[in-house]
Amino acid sequence: MTKIYVLNGVNLGALGTRRPEVYGSRTLKDIEAALAGEFPDVEFAFRQTDYEGEMVEWVREAGRSADAVIINPGAWTHYSYAIHDALEATETMKVEIHLSNIHAREEFRRHSVVSAAVDATVVGMGEFGYKAAVSYVLDRM
């Protein structure tokens, strides 16, 4: 069975209430349930944190025990070299995801320091982006 860590960063625990016009009205739990239902043959480890060090530890853990990591770093996307470095040191397949199209948003959101350390990036597809990321991982395995 394929094991995929789905890691969500800062403020993603507020999905459904935080700027639904940008991020949608579904909660993170809704998205996780949809993924588990769509991909019953995948073992998921769903996690969300607002603490950067905890995210770094989870990326390292995924590198040791998972086939892939799908990460939505939230605002850390734009400045966390610690998360970049953890991903870069991880040999497992990695996909960065963003619900909104970060390239069409505010200037400070248009650059990702994380992208250079992952195999693929999914942006602007809303919650469907998570399904696209899992499909990508499964297709590449």
Q: What is the pLDDT of residue 4?
A: 98
Q: What is the pLDDT of residue 27?
A: 86
pTM, two decimals, is 0.90
Give catalytic residues, as residue numbers: 23, 98
Q: What is the pLDDT of residue 103?
A: 72
Which domains, from first to last, does the chain contain? Answer: 2-140 (3.40.50.9100)
Mode of pairing for the β-strands spanning 68-72 and 120-123: unpaired
Q: What is the pLDDT of residue 78?
A: 86
36-to-18, 21, 46, 50, 127 alpha-carbon distances in Å: 23, 25, 10, 23, 13
Task: Collect the ranges in the chain with pLDDT lower than 70.
Answer: 15-25, 104-106, 108-110
pLDDT in tens, 99-126: 877 776 667 666 789 999 999 999 988 8
Sign of CA dihedral 35, 41, 42, 45: positive
End-to-end CA, the chain: 11
Task: Return the ∠ at Cα 95 (arms to 55 and 74), rounded to 5°.
Answer: 45
Rounded to an integer, what distance in angstroms lies between the CA atom of residue 43 and that of residue 64?
Answer: 15
Q: What is the pLDDT of residue 16?
A: 66
**Coil/strand/helix, residue 32:** helix
Q: What is the pLDDT of residue 106?
A: 67
